[in-house]
Structures are given as C-alpha cells and as structure tokens.
Amino acid sequence: MKCNATLTDSRKGVTYTCELGATHYDRDIQPDFDAPLESRNPGGWHKRGTEVWADHAHGATPHEPEAVSADVLPGYKASIRFGSQSGPNLDWESPYEITIVGPAAFVARVVASVADAFEEDAQR
Ligand SMILES: [Zn+2]
C-alpha cells in the first residue's frame, strides 16, 4: 500500500501524491538537503520525483497511517476434532483434527465442508 499524502503546488497548479510506501513518514528524519535534487534522499519525508515535502508544508495533505490496518484482513482460527462420543479418548486415537487459519469467510467455508464430509461418513 502506498502513502496517500499529497502536496498541491498552487503556482504550478499541480498536485503531487507521495510515491513511497505507507507508514514511511517520519518528520524527524530530514531529507538530505545538501544533495543534488535528482539524487536527494527524502529521509522520512514524502517524495514524488524531485519533490520532497513534510506534512506541515504549505499545500500538504497529511498521510493517513490509520488506513494501513484496513488493508489487512482480520485472521480467524478454527480447530475441529471429531470422533465417536462414546469411543476411545481422542487423545490417543489417531487424531481426526484440523486447524484452519485465515480470513473469516475462508475459515467458515472449510468448517462447513468438513462438517458435510463428516456427516456423510457418519451416515454410512
Ligand atoms: Zn509519503
């Protein structure tokens, strides 16, 4: 995910969008102002081409770091262990157990499939 900070240069009538990755911004790491424009290290500041700016610059729209976490799907986990209720202890019988980890829809789909398969097997 990209940084979404922008800088509007009203003299040129241009808006730049930062080309760096999300969460890169750190106001305290200053750009290498002594280097030539073309090879300037932006430090923790925003960058687009040869433009380098900070959130407090005139015409700047700050980045939104909280949008980063929305990109990550929450993880869910399900464990299914099955066997006869009156049978031997499942701990020493060969384990009929699966653990699924992933997004909620994926976990739900696997659990439903396993339940269907088990139900078919139990009816034999
Ligand atoms: Zn940026």
pLDDT of residue 99: 80
Distance 75 CA to ligand 1 centre (A): 28
Distance 2 CA to ligand 1 centre (A): 8
Whole-angstrom Cα distance, residue 6 to residue 17?
4
Distance 106 CA to ligand 1 centre (A): 33
| Residue pLDDT, tens place only, 41-74 | 999 999 999 999 999 888 898 876 544 444 556 6
Distance 73 CA to ligand 1 centre (A): 23
In terms of domains, do 55 and 23 share one? yes
Distances (CA, A) of 43 to 1, 2, 48, 50, 56: 19, 16, 13, 13, 15
In terms of domains, do 65 and 10 share one? yes
Q: Which of 33, 53, 69 is the last residue of a domain?
A: 69
Structure tokens at 17: 């969008």
**What are the backbone angles phi and psi of residue 81, rounded to the nearest 5°?**
-125, 130
In terms of domains, do 48 and 83 share one? no
1 occurs within a structural domain: no
Distance 45 CA to ligand 1 centre (A): 6
Residue 83: pLDDT over 50: yes
Q: Which domain holds residue 99?
A: 76-122
Asked if 18 and 48 count as a contact pair (C-beta separation under 8 A), the reply is yes
pLDDT of residue 6: 93
pLDDT of residue 31: 94
